[in-house]
Structure 1
């Protein structure tokens, strides 16, 4: 009997934009075989993004329809775009695959913590301000959006003490290994070797 199989946890990767939280989360998810719950966005995909992998890219009209129906447990506006997370997607993923992971800003992470309590494990991913700004420049983020995100950096960093775990992200392989070991403690599957 696998005692970890009934542990339906929500691993929430959060931190400032440009910290690498999405890359880290997807690498950890793939390493541990944990399903991802994907948010919805009304903006167009950026270079390298794929529909159904990074976001569900939908029309503003469909987004409004979901919002009117009360589908979103989190809904935010950033510049001209809307981003939302549907509660039904979370519940379905928990039923189908056990533990799941999500990539959210600190506000979304806090909302999930309030709704799901101890089942939510927040993993704060961070790097210094100069590094996250350079990563976003290298990714070709529009300068106006980049400025908006950097204006949010201090508020995002201030959320770190609220999280269950925090990880510096300067070396992706090291960060992923460290987090995978941490999550195995929660999953109790004993898949990752410990030193």
Structure 2
């Protein structure tokens, strides 16, 4: 397992599908120049998703081989699909950045927290049921996938209590601003104001 060095943090964005966690995570990541670690998954890409940008889309056979080789820090099954974060990806990101971020479901976020303790900071992003459902339809996600996500909505909302921070996400700019202020306390970038 990769050993985190002083001031290295793993920032995890979690919450229900449709909460806007990806948009929030990417905006915060860009603000702090953090590197994003992508999960490997066996599911097919959704509309507008691209391999190497949203996930690493791989076959079941590839996933099996990687799992047998012990490449994953965390690996979960969600419905018929599998998701995992490779240890090598985390180590490579830390070679270029002191902080990285991931977008994970609650189970994956919990696994990383158990591995790295206080060096994992979880941000729970959420919105009410009707909003997350509407957002998924607007993305063109198939109805059966939306229903599968919504069947887990209450369970995912329960994980909010386990996370270090939680934010309602109805206004992206406002949510990103609030999270940025919170993250400053962890990263201690010692910014200097200039006249």
Q: Given the two structures, how large is their TM-score scaled by the length of structure 2?
A: 0.91
Listed as ranges, the matches of 1:5-24 within 5 Å are 6-24=6-24
Distance 1:125 1:192 in 2: 30
State the 1:191 CA deviation: 4.2
Match of 2:173 in 1: 173
Distance 1:179 1:76, change over 3 A: same
Listed as ranges, the matches of 1:1-195 within 5 Å are 6-191=6-191
Deviations along 1:53-79, one digit per CA (max 9) or x if unpaired, are 100112222111101112122222333
- Where 1:158 maps in the other structure, the secondary structure is helix
Backbone CA RMSD of aligned residues = 1.7
Quick check: 1:184–1:192 contact (8 Å CA) kept in 2? Answer: no
Distance 1:122 1:39 in 2: 16
Structure 1: runs of 5 or more not aligned: none
Instruction: Give the number of aligned pairs.
Output: 189
State the 1:41 CA deviation: 1.4
Quick check: 1:133–1:146 contact (8 Å CA) kept in 2? Answer: yes
Distance 1:119 1:151 in 2: 31
Distance 1:54 1:191 in 2: 31
Distance 1:192 1:154, change over 3 A: farther
Quick check: 2:76–2:107 contact (8 Å CA) kept in 1? Answer: no
Quick check: 1:184–1:191 contact (8 Å CA) kept in 2? Answer: no
Quick check: 1:73–1:84 contact (8 Å CA) kept in 2? Answer: yes
Structure 2: runs of 5 or more not aligned: none
State the 1:155 CA deviation: 0.7
Q: Given the two structures, how large is their TM-score scaled by the length of structure 1?
A: 0.91
